[in-house]
Amino acid sequence: MRYRRLGRTALQVSELCLGTMNFGPETTEADSWAIMDKALELGINFFDTANRYGGDKGAGATEEIVGRWLAQGGGRREKVVLATKVFGAMTDWPNDGRLSARHIRAACDASLRRMQTDHIDLYQMHHVDRTAPWDEVWQAMDTLVQQGKIIYVGSSNFAGWHITQANEAALRRHSLGLISEQSHYNLLVRTIELEVLPACRHYGLGVIPWSPLSGGLLGGGLNDADTARRRNPLALRRMEKLRPKLEQWEALCGELGEAPAAVALAWLLAQDGVTCPILGPRTMEQLEGASLRALDITLEPDTLKAIDRIFPGPGGTAPEAYSW
């Protein structure tokens, strides 16, 4: 396993991040623990969760699974860079969601209790809150840093101008500001290349792509035996709509002699500014499969051009992408 600095910080995280969204609703607690143990064994030291994760088990259930795993000791907490998120409504009460200073501080305390830890390494805003002034957001985050409850602050699903607003406001307060952005990014969804990636490079944010395989479509989806996906009408319609591109994609990966999932992850790792894609395994096999192979793949310039022909990006960075 190789490690990269997370943005402009000195913090070292593995080139693959373990996402935990399936832990609880899709993966049993015992299997979730086994996956986390295996991830550590493989050298993956960056675990990502969110206070809303839990699905039909209820908001917070995934953090509780992570917490009971950490509580087993054995150096688990010391080895893991632990990331979680705040924004989504935790109850029906009006102040139990979004990014008011009140909710940020209360939600952090609740996440700490669920995960049975005294601090969160990376506390991420799961979405921008257009009603929350940045001074209010940073007042809460700065307080949590001063109290030792969080170390770094990140964002997720922010636009480029939100990143600019947030970091300029932090600069005025002499705060460290955002150090990472977790974005929807894969070969089928490349819009962050217009403004989010340039903003992250400018401000020194590490980019953490979520859904790197686009729900499995980039992982050999045409021949996927995953019965859950086959039963999903929306996924099937999307697969059929994209079939011409996916056929070209899988043929190219076949010529390379590599699994499509591995090549898709290797492509992300080759993008300037990307720190580590998030893996979201439901099973041990998904963790141990092609994702690890991605770390050993170097995509040559001709291969990168061939991939761009199949999945063209938005045309470069803004404004040149849509202007002269």
Would you place residue 254 in the very low, low, confident or very high pLDDT band (cuts 50, 70, 90)? very high
Give me the pLDDT at residue 236, please.
Answer: 86
Could you give the CA distance from residue 62 to residue 200 in angstroms, rounded to a whole number?
29
In a domain, 15, yes or no: yes
In a domain, 309, yes or no: no
**What does the block give as tokens for 52?**
């809303």
Give me the pLDDT at residue 232, please.
Answer: 79
Considering Cα of 227, then 16, then 276, then 47, what sign does the dihedral take? positive
In a domain, 142, yes or no: yes
pLDDT tens digits, 70-97: 999 999 999 999 999 999 999 999 999 9
In a domain, 271, yes or no: yes
Query: What kind and span of H or E run contains 113?
Result: helix 101-115
Report the alpha-carbon angle 23-274-26, nearest 5.
10
Could you give the CA distance from residue 125 to residue 287 in angstroms, rounded to a whole number?
26
C-alpha closest to that of 264 among 196, 309, 214: 214
**What does the block give as tokens for 127?**
């979405």
Is 240 buried (19+), middle (13-18) or exposed (0-12) by CB count in 10 A? exposed
Position 233 pLDDT exceeds 90: no
**What does the block give as tokens for 209?**
């792509």
Catalytic residues: 53
CATH number where 113 lies: 3.20.20.100
Q: For strand 3-5 and strand 12-14, is the pairing parallel, antiparallel, or unpaired?
A: antiparallel
**What does the block give as tokens for 193?**
């290349």
Q: 209: which strand partners? A: 183
Q: What is the mean pLDDT of the chain?
A: 96
Q: With contact defined as beta carbons under 8 Å apart, do 13 and 273 qualify?
A: no
Give me the pLDDT at residue 231, please.
Answer: 61
Give me the pLDDT at residue 223, please.
Answer: 67
Would you place residue 126 in the very low, low, confident or very high pLDDT band (cuts 50, 70, 90)? very high
CB neighbour burial string for 105-115, b if at least 16 within 10 angstroms, e if fewer = bbbbebbbebb
Total domains in the fold of the chain: 1
In a domain, 197, yes or no: yes
Distance of CA 44 to the CA centre of its chain: 14
In a domain, 53, yes or no: yes
In a domain, 241, yes or no: no
Position 217 pLDDT exceeds 80: yes
**What does the block give as tokens for 33?**
């623990």
pLDDT tens digits, 157-212: 999 999 999 999 999 999 999 999 999 999 999 999 999 999 999 999 999 999 99
Could you give the CA distance from residue 193 to residue 158 in angstroms, rounded to a whole number?
13
Q: With contact defined as beta carbons under 8 Å apart, do 15 and 295 qualify?
A: yes
Q: With contact defined as beta carbons under 8 Å apart, do 179 and 154 qualify?
A: yes
User: Which residue intervals of 116-214 are DSSP H helices?
Assistant: 134-146, 160-172, 196-203
Domain that holds residue 146: 3-216+264-302
Position 66 pLDDT exceeds 80: yes
Could you tell me the pTM of the whole model?
Answer: 0.96
Percent of the chain surpassing pLDDT 90: 92
Is 306 buried (19+), middle (13-18) or exposed (0-12) by CB count in 10 A? middle
Residue with tokens 């395989």: 213
Q: E strands, 21-137, where?
A: 46-48, 81-86, 120-125
In a domain, 252, yes or no: no
